[in-house]
Amino acid sequence: MTDTPRGLLITLEGGEGAGKTTAQTFIHDWLVAEGRSVTTTREPGGTQLAEGIRDMLLDKRGDMAPPTELLLMFAARAENIAKIIEPALAKGHDVLCDRFTDASRAYQGAGRQLGLSSVDALAEWVHPTLRPDLTLLLDVPVAVGMERVGKRGAALNRFEMADVEFFERVRQGYLDQATREPDRFVVIDATQSIDTVQSKIKDALLELVVRRPHG
Ligand code: TMP
């Protein structure tokens, strides 16, 4: 009996209004067209319990201390990893995750100013060996992202109601992380046309799949 090769973990990151939803559909369809099996999930969320935690985190009526926010993100993440991500990778599926631990580094570490060491300590405890194979960071200036979110017309969640300075720190937190881990991150200027963004995503996926062909 041969062991099933593990799938790839691909994470999608970016500030509000960066266009992650459109990108996620594109990536999913591209991988499937390549003949790969794909499991999609999101954070915070993915399982029933983690989606419940998401509701608490996003509820705009909630007033939450930053450490509570960070711990709830990791509580949801522990569920998502145990119930969805690890089982899918083990059976050879690629996992496409809309946000992962880099979001905690950017939003809680940088945005809420909790610092990277608390996030890294939790990451080391919750998923010591799990690291994305590729992280696509869709980068847009804060003003552009906020304008896109405003145009959606939907009610703002607790994060979307934060001030510009918070989002500037989040954006910088992401870019700093990309600088620290250039082998894992691909930063894409998401102010470009959808076609251009998708062609850059495709280039990154092609390189990854060539490097790690089994999925
Ligand atoms: P979404 O808008 O991409 O669905 O993400 C929900 C919000 O949760 C978004 O504003 C970013 C935030 N978030 C964090 O603050 N830390 C995290 O670790 C994750 C996964 C998301």
Q: What atom in ligand 1 is closest to the CA of residue 43?
A: 20
User: What is the band of 22 on the pLDDT scale with cuts at 50, 70, 90?
Assistant: very high
CA 152–ligand 1 middle distance (angstroms): 17
User: What is the band of 3 on the pLDDT scale with cuts at 50, 70, 90?
Assistant: confident
- What pLDDT score was predicted for residue 166? 97
CA 200–ligand 1 middle distance (angstroms): 24
Nearest CA to ligand 1 atom 9: 159
Ligand 1 site, CB within 6 A: 43-44, 73, 98-99, 103-104, 107-108, 159
- How confident is the prediction for the chain on average, in pLDDT? 95
CA 7–ligand 1 middle distance (angstroms): 24
User: What is the band of 24 on the pLDDT scale with cuts at 50, 70, 90?
Assistant: very high
On the question of pLDDT at 132 being above 60, the answer is: yes
On the question of pLDDT at 184 being above 70, the answer is: yes
Nearest CA to ligand 1 atom 19: 103
On the question of pLDDT at 207 being above 90, the answer is: yes
**Mean pLDDT over residues 66-89, rounded?**
98
pLDDT, tens only, 35-54: 999 999 999 999 999 999 99
- What pLDDT score was predicted for residue 16? 86
Sheet containing 94-98: order of strands: 38-42, 94-98, 9-14, 134-139, 185-189
On the question of pLDDT at 7 being above 90, the answer is: yes
120: exposed, middle or buried (C-beta count within 10 Å: 0-12, 13-18, 19+)? middle
